[in-house]
Amino acid sequence: MKAGRHTIILMQPSQNRASRTFMDYNSINHALDGLCGLYERKLRDINPMVPNITYDITDLYNFIDGLADISALVYDHSIQAFLPYDRQWIKQKLFQHLKKLAQR
C-alpha cells in the first residue's frame, strides 16, 4: 500500500439520498483510520456511559454493511485518475489495516 494515495470515501449511511456524504483523505491508511473513527464515534453516541469501548472486526464489518452505500475512490498516479473500489475492498483493507496495527 503506497502512502500518499489521495482517497475519497463516498458513503450514504441511510436509505435517504440526502444522507450522502464524502470524506477526503491524503492516503488509504488515513481513510481507514477515518472509517474506524466514524464507527467509534457512533459507538460512543450509543453508549455514552461506557468509558472504554472495544469492538472487533465483525462489529466493524456489520457497521460497513449497515450503510446504504459506501465506496472508495483512490488516486492512481500511473494513470492520473481515481479508481473506484467497492464495499468488499474497503472491508478487506480495514482487516489488513487493523491486523497491522494490532501487531505493533
| Region 11-38 average pLDDT | 96
Long-range CB contacts (< 8 A, 24+ apart) of 63-71? Answer: 63/39, 64/35, 64/90, 64/91, 64/94, 67/11, 67/12, 67/13, 68/12, 68/13, 68/14, 68/15, 68/19, 69/10, 69/11, 69/12, 69/20, 70/9, 70/10, 70/11, 70/12, 71/9, 71/10, 71/11
The C-alpha cell 489521495 sits at 6
CATH code of 7-103, in short, is 3.30.2260.10
Confidence of residue 35 (pLDDT cuts 50, 70, 90): very high
pLDDT surpassing 50 at residue 8: yes
37-86: per-residue pLDDT in tens?
A: 999 999 999 999 988 889 999 999 999 999 999 999 999 999 999 999 99
In this prediction the pTM is 0.90
- List the domain boundaries for the chain: 7-103
